[in-house]
Structures are given as structure tokens and as C-alpha cells.
Structure 1
Amino acid sequence: MSEVFSPTPAWQEQIFKVLKEGGIQQVSYVPDAGHAHVIRRVNEDPDMRGIVLTTEEEGVAVASGAWLGGQRHALLMQSSGVGNCINMMSLLQSCRFPFLTLVTMRGEYAEFNPWQVPMSKATQASMELMGIKVYRAERADEVEDIVGAALDFAFEGGEPVAVLLSQRLIGRKKWLRN
């Protein structure tokens, strides 16, 4: 089976714009179709560095190292990767590092993969239990403002923050049989 995607929605370009204008220099990620546009734009930008991860918790360490090195970082991941990060997120509280992650949600609206559902149900609560402020974007017209507010909260307020990008916002995945 192969995935079919429609043209890039404007809100995805707005995310890149907010990250760029907010001084993000490093973006780490495990490849994800929901973040594909932002990943592509980061990798095309000579002033930003895209860092491919083998697992999401590496991104928490990369974010911490970026901050210690004087750079701003954003971690892109899918909700199924949040569970991989819980232990590493203790670093954020212990060391008081600012942290920004954008999480594409799975296991919600029109999900076809039952393996995505359990972590989806636990994503927000897990992050909040680790001391991370969670914002949620449900509609395209609110994405730019929410991501901008999260970036300010992280890097001006010095706090760990996550933006959950709802599965309804991202849209249904369509699969074609080959």
C-alpha cells in the first residue's frame, strides 16, 4: 500500500514560518508524514539544521544540548513517540531547560491503526505529568497563533511546552492498494 497526500495546507507553512522567525536553528525529528512539509523546509533552509533521530527521546537530549550550546531547538514527533520520551523528559525539569515540541496526533479522528490509539489517549496527560505545558491546535486558523505562543512560552518563559496537532487538523490518511 502507498500513502496519498493532498497539497500542503497553509498551516504547515505557518509552522515553518513561526519556527524560522522565532530563531529556531535546530529541528530534530523521526520522519513523519504529518510533519513532512516542515521537515522539508527545514532541510532546505541554510540557517536551520534538520537532525534525523532513530527514536524520539534522543530529541529531548538534542534539545538540551542545543540550549546549552546557545541555540534554539524544536522536536517534531508523532503521538506514538511521546511514550518513548517520558524518562528523558525528567531532564527538562531537573535542569530547567526550555523545550518546544510539536506533536502530530494519531489514534483520534478516523484512525485506521488500532496500535495508535492507546498512546493517543495518554499523550496529553503523560506530558502534563512530566511538567510540560500542553497546547492543542484543532483548526487551521489557530495553528500559527498557538505555535507562536508555545515558542514564546518555551524560550521567553523558559518552560517546556508541547503543541498537539490534532488528527482532524492533519486530515485522514488515505491508503491505496498497489
Structure 2
Amino acid sequence: MSAIAGFLGMLPGWLWACLVAATVLHGCWVGHQRDGAVNGLHDLQASVAKQETVRAEAASTANANFRKFEHQQAAIAADLENANQTRKQAAGTVDRSNRDDVDGLRRDVARLDAAARSGGLPGAAAYPSELEASRRAAQNARGLFLACAAEYQVVAGAAQHDAIDLGTGVSYADLVQTTAPH
């Protein structure tokens, strides 16, 4: 202890007063810096919290808009599918109607053929060569008619299906190219 007292005695009192004042000032300056850093940290944390709140609100709004857009697209797709099914049913009805018409024409032709065969044609005995030529022409015309009717039925059915497929494709392309709402 005497060594410390000797050491303290070597320096004048004013120097000790300056040393104590410098230490106190240094402590105040460090405390002020610490308080400034703590206040800056609190400000930064408040700013980050505010930004997180804004980000969460923006994400929630974007998610809600996306869900709304998905629901709209699903409703449009359902409407397109319903319209497609309706068109398919209508095409089936038209196809059945065409088949019924062709079948009716075939029955009429068969009935007329049977009536012509059973009743005999007037003057057939007088003009056998012309009768045979007329019969061949009628048979050729009947064959062409039946072939055309069958071809018409196939083409009409294919056209109806192509129209349905084209309408569905165009509607789907419109759906896919629709942009999302902002």
C-alpha cells in the first residue's frame, strides 16, 4: 500500500483532478454513444417492423387477388366446358336427325322401288329397251343418291365435331391468353 501512496504522491493534485475529469468525460461520451446506438437500434427495429407489416399486407392483397383470378378462371373454364358439352349434345341431336332423314329417304326409295316392281310400268311391253335403260339410269341415280347421302352423313358428323373442337380450342386459347388483374 505504501507503494501506491508513493506513486499517488508523485503526481500533483491538479493532474489528478484532470485525470478524474477526463475519465468522467470519457464515461459520459461512451454512455452517450451507447444511448445513441440503442436509440438507433430501436428506430431500425421499428422501421423493419413497419416494412414487414407493409410487406405482409401486400402479400395478403396479392394472394387474395390471385385467388380471385383463379376463381374467375375456373368459372370461365367451367362455362367453356358446359358450352362444349351443350354443343356436343346439339351435334349429336343434329347427327341423329340427319341419320333419321337418310333412313327415311332410304325407306321411301325402297318403297317406291317395290311399288314400281310390283305394279309394272305402263307401256313396258311396248318399249322394253327404253324401260331397261330407264331402269339402269334409275338404279344408277339411286346408287349415287345413297352414296351421296351416306357421304353427307359422315361429312356432317365430322364437321359438327370439328366445329366443337375448334370452338373449344379458341375458347381455351382466349382463356390462356387472358392476363391477370392488377
Scaled to the shorter chain, the TM-score interval is under 0.3
> What is the TM-score when the length of structure 2 is the normalising length?
0.18
> What is the TM-score when the length of structure 1 is the normalising length?
0.18
Structure (1 or 2) with the greater strand fraction: 1
User: Greater relative contact order (Cα 8 A, min sep 6): structure 1 or 2?
Assistant: 2
Bigger radius of gyration, 1 or 2?
Answer: 2
Structure (1 or 2) with the greater helix fraction: 2
